[in-house]
Structure 1
Amino acid sequence: MDMLLKVLRWVLGLFLGFTALGALFTGAFIAFLVMAIGVLVIIPPSGAWIGRFISPVARNGAAIGIGLVCFFAGLAIAVINSEPSKSAAEPAATVAGQAAPAPVSATTPTPTPATPAAPAKVDVSRKISPDAVFLIEGDGWEKTRREWGSAGVKRINAAMPKAAEKVAQSASCDYVEIVGLSDRGKPKQQAVFYVDCKNGQRFYVSEDDLKSDAGVVSKNAKTAAISDVTAITACEDSVKSQLNFPSTFDRDLLNTSVYRAPTGNIAVMFTFQAKNALGVELPQRAKCVIDDTGLEPAQISNN
């Protein structure tokens, strides 16, 4: 009987050990430690050593029981730290397997930081590269000239150095390296410039921003206000809006990751199961990208 219990402890311990590694890969370090303690109690050699100090662990049955308690406690910690709420709305299907992506809803995490105070005066000449500004000159700008016209191009070229100076006033930008015309603007109406700093901070500066005395906030600072749980929840909602049976959506807790790019974008990736139009449950993979303007529709592929 003892031999059978030891074999059971080995099999159970190895299985739970690989499961605990999944928590480590998702960044749930505390949960992994608690689960690992349970695994060490269950595996016979480490359990016997622990039993020298905690006598109940020396017995096979007690070791299995205590180990499972520790393991499931760690699993509960992982769930509490990373499981966002799920909505149950089910949009009508439009194509086999998936419905058309819905527009970004009001729940999409679009950060709205408070208007920053007027920046303190600094010597901006030392914080701007002499080659930072990409003026619209020479060949290769035909499309831009058609969209903005000669007067608009002249206005843009005059505004770009001012955008560099505006960002250089910010304490979060160490050194302005690149300034260019962004596609976020509206031709002949409102120009928007992107400004990249040496420390990875990216700013978007509009012509209206140049008329204001208030400072500008980097894209990185805006997305930093979005928590991992909020990002995962928004991605889940976007995925469900494309499913025929969103109530069957089941995200893989231990195969979920959130990546924050140096330029401020947030990428959420996870695998999940959901039923297609034929009622067959299929494993799939999702990826969402969130920037300072909100959430792009989720990209879904077969796993």
Structure 2
Amino acid sequence: MAAVKCKGCGAQVWTKAGACPVCGAKPSRKAKVLAWVALALIVFVVLKGVFSGEPAHTTAQKSTPMDVAEGVTASQSMPELSSGPAPIRSGALDSYTKATHPKIYAKWGAEGAKKIEAHQKLAADLIATSGRCDAVSIVGLSEQRSSPPSNIVVFVDCENGQRFYIGPNDLGSPLKSEAERALNKESAISICRDSVRAAAKFPSSVNFSAFGTVAETNKTTGGTSVYMDFESKNELGNLIPQRATCVFPVSGKPELRVGSR
């Protein structure tokens, strides 16, 4: 129910009242109509606010891309995208002095030590900018693969477990980590089975366990190992349960070990 202003005394009079309770004047028809229109507008605005989920006293505003971005930033952390090279951790590069590496220093000499350190820096920069290393953690001389005066091979280890060997001819060639150079597991299992049969006294008697074969590749060294359960006959004709271990390094000769289980 709406109220109007009495034109006689100015008091508020309900539209349904026949006359003003103060002065007795009757409200005009026009005032009643205006009062009902005003009441209808108020009800419309309130209902619009309720059903649109917005306050009735505010104007609806569309979200802008800036509003959305700000809301996302406030509610969750955005992933960091690296556009530059991977970091080289402090202390990752080794220093070859008479005090720190006396054997290597004696073998390579002062000039050789400087060459090793220079090659380390080039190798670390190469891997850091390759896009395949999260962070360079360790760089060092591979003594087994290196020989003075100029055959310098260093290994570069990344925090994601990848290892790269960089020799004097690798700085300008396509890079492969040790894991990428590894023998695949299917081939390793097949070769291991053939090796077990060849090493058995009675190859035809070899019976491999259906669930006793496991193959794994070391992410850092790239070496693939196969563990295989089997049975084979001995000299007396008895079936003996055995286990074979086949190791396939990236560089070097594969190894077969067989023992009882």
In structure 2, relative to structure 1, the CA distance for the partners of 1:250 and 1:144 (3 Å cut) is farther
Partners in 2 of 1:140 and 1:280 — Cα distance? Answer: 58
Residue 203 in 1 paired to residue 161 in 2? no
Residue 292 in 1 paired to residue 250 in 2? yes
Show the 5 A alignment for 1:45-64: none
State the TM-score, normalized to the length of structure 1. 0.52
What's the counterpart of residue 222 of structure 1? 181
SS in 1 for 2:181: helix
For residue 183 of structure 1, report the CA deviation from its aligned partner: 3.3
Greater strand content: 2
| Corresponding residue to 1:233 among 175, 190, 194 | 190
> What letter is aligned with 2:143?
D
What's the counterpart of residue 22 of structure 2? none
| Corresponding residue to 1:243 among 179, 200, 206 | 200
For residue 145 of structure 1, report the CA deviation from its aligned partner: 3.0
Indicate conservation of the 8 Å contact 1:196/1:203, yes or no: yes
| Corresponding residue to 2:154 among 186, 193, 203 | 193
> What letter is aligned with 2:175?
V
In structure 2, relative to structure 1, the CA distance for the partners of 1:145 and 1:241 (3 Å cut) is farther
Residue 283 in 1 paired to residue 244 in 2? no
Structure 2 unaligned segments of length 5 or more: list them: 1-82
> What letter is aligned with 2:94?
F
Indicate conservation of the 8 Å contact 2:248/2:255, yes or no: no
What's the counterpart of residue 36 of structure 2? none
Residue 168 in 1 paired to residue 131 in 2? no
| Corresponding residue to 1:270 among 228, 234, 237 | 228
Question: What CA RMSD, in Å, does the superposition of the two structures yield over aligned residues?
Answer: 2.5
| Corresponding residue to 1:255 among 203, 212, 229 | 212
Partners in 2 of 1:167 and 1:278 — Cα distance? Answer: 57
Indicate conservation of the 8 Å contact 1:134/1:180, yes or no: yes
In structure 2, relative to structure 1, the CA distance for the partners of 1:144 and 1:202 (3 Å cut) is same
Partners in 1 of 2:119 and 2:168 — Cα distance? Answer: 7
SS in 1 for 2:91: coil
Indicate conservation of the 8 Å contact 2:185/2:217, yes or no: no
Partners in 1 of 2:143 and 2:195 — Cα distance? Answer: 25
For residue 273 of structure 1, report the CA deviation from its aligned partner: 1.6
| Corresponding residue to 2:108 among 128, 143, 148 | 148
SS in 2 for 1:178: strand
For residue 279 of structure 1, report the CA deviation from its aligned partner: 5.1
CA deviation vs aligned residue, 1:231-284 (integer Å, no higher than 9, x gap): 101222333444333343322121111223332332211111223456543211
> What letter is aligned with 1:127?
P
How many residues of Structure 1 are paired with residues of Structure 2 in the alignment? Answer: 177
Partners in 2 of 1:235 and 1:272 — Cα distance? Answer: 12
Indicate conservation of the 8 Å contact 1:239/1:286, yes or no: yes
For residue 155 of structure 1, report the CA deviation from its aligned partner: 1.4
CA deviation vs aligned residue, 1:118-163 (integer Å, no higher than 9, x gap): xxxx844x52112111122243523323443443222112211111
Indicate conservation of the 8 Å contact 2:98/2:106, yes or no: no
SS in 2 for 1:144: helix
In structure 2, relative to structure 1, the CA distance for the partners of 1:197 and 1:273 (3 Å cut) is same
SS in 2 for 1:230: helix
What's the counterpart of residue 92 of structure 2? 132
Partners in 1 of 2:234 and 2:95 — Cα distance? Answer: 51
Partners in 2 of 1:159 and 1:204 — Cα distance? Answer: 12
| Corresponding residue to 1:180 among 126, 136, 140 | 140
